Chain A
Amino acid sequence: MSHSFRVEATAERLPEANTGLDAWWTSAGLPDEARFAFELVLEEIFMNVVMHGSPPEGPACTVEVTLDRRGDEVCMEVADDGVRFDPLTLEDPDTSTPIEDRRVGGLGVYFVREMMDTVHYRYSEGRNHLTVSKSLGPTT
């Protein structure tokens, strides 16, 4: 059964989003060591919405996180009612650049791609939906 929660997209609310994920993870009895990738990916997507999703003058948009377990796979959807934007159109950063020229911009979305097995974007009913999933490996 899936679980959803909503958080206002502001930097101050990031811990609340993380707490929502942790609470579900624990109640679902999932292994601790697999949680990190989802915590990281949720922060990166959430902060992307905080930085770019809300119109400069308007109120902050709202993020809705939906978590689900399907067999050995965890699925997480992050939906927001902010500015329409597909983060998967961003180019990967060059991770071989020397230190003087290295940029951190774009690294967040790169993490989303690299840490998850699947990543999909769609825009529907006025909301961005980024859906990710990752296998937890064979369960014992």
Chain B
Amino acid sequence: MNVSIENTEGGVSVASAHGRLDFGASAEFQKALEGAVAAKPKALVIECSALEYVSSAGLRAFLVAARAAKAGNVGFAACGLQPAVKEVFEVSGFSKIIDVQADLAAALAALA
């Protein structure tokens, strides 16, 4: 699992998640997202097209980051979910509390 964060010209940060977000990877992922939110971008988008797996421990990281974003008035969205990851978001109800967009372009448009 790794996550790289890039800042777009529009003031939106994009965190690209790669690999497996299991229990062992969740703490580092959460820290990276919290750091990205603390930098006060206009919005943070989690780009998930290379994210193969997420468990409840991984969802916790999404939840903590989304909450911090909301508290800090930073926009927040996830995009590009693979079918398995999408299923976890839907079964958990997370797709109702986190803005899920089809791809990065859609996410940037929604947060503009």
Q: Is the CB of B56 within 8 A of A14?
A: no
Q: Is the CB of B97 within 8 A of A98?
A: yes
Q: Is the CB of A100 within 8 A of B67?
A: yes
A39: which of B53, B63, B93, B96 is its contact (CB, 8 Å)? B53
B22: which of A18, A97, A107, A110 is its contact (CB, 8 Å)? A18
A23 interface residue per 8 A CB criterion? no
A96: which of B56, B57, B67, B93 is its contact (CB, 8 Å)? B93
B-side contacts of A39, CB under 8 Å: 53
Selecting from B5-13, B42-50, B84-92, the interface stretch reads B84-92
A-side contacts of B84, CB under 8 Å: 36
> Given the interface contacts A36-B84, A99-B70, does A44 sit within 8 Å of B92 by beta carbon?
no
B-side contacts of A14, CB under 8 Å: 22-24
Q: Is the CB of A111 within 8 A of B56?
A: yes
The contact size tier of chain B is: 20 to 34
B37 interface residue per 8 A CB criterion? no
CB distance from B94 to the nearest CB of A (A): 8
> Given the interface contacts A99-B63, A99-B97, A111-B56, does A15 sit within 8 Å of B92 by beta carbon?
no
Name B21-57 residues within 8 Å CB distance of A.
22-24, 53, 55-57
A2 interface residue per 8 A CB criterion? no
Q: Is the CB of B56 within 8 A of A104?
A: yes
Task: Annotate A4-36 by CB proximity to B: 1 below 8 A, 0 otherwise.
Answer: 000000011011001000000000000001001
Q: Is the CB of B91 within 8 A of A111?
A: yes
CB distance from B43 to the nearest CB of A (A): 16
CB distance from B8 to the nearest CB of A (A): 24
Query: How far does the alpha carbon of A110 sit from the alpha carbon of B91 in the complex, in Å?
Result: 9
Q: Is the CB of B23 within 8 A of A43?
A: yes
A-side contacts of B91, CB under 8 Å: 95, 110-111, 114-115
B77 interface residue per 8 A CB criterion? no
A82 interface residue per 8 A CB criterion? no
Query: How far does the alpha carbon of A95 sit from the alpha carbon of B91 in the complex, in Å?
Result: 8
B108 interface residue per 8 A CB criterion? no
Q: Which residues of A contact B (CB under 8 A)?
A: 11-12, 14-15, 18, 33, 36, 39-40, 43-44, 47, 95-100, 102, 104, 107-108, 110-111, 114-115
The 6 closest A-B pairs by CB, nearest first: A95-B93, A36-B84, A107-B56, A104-B60, A99-B97, A108-B56
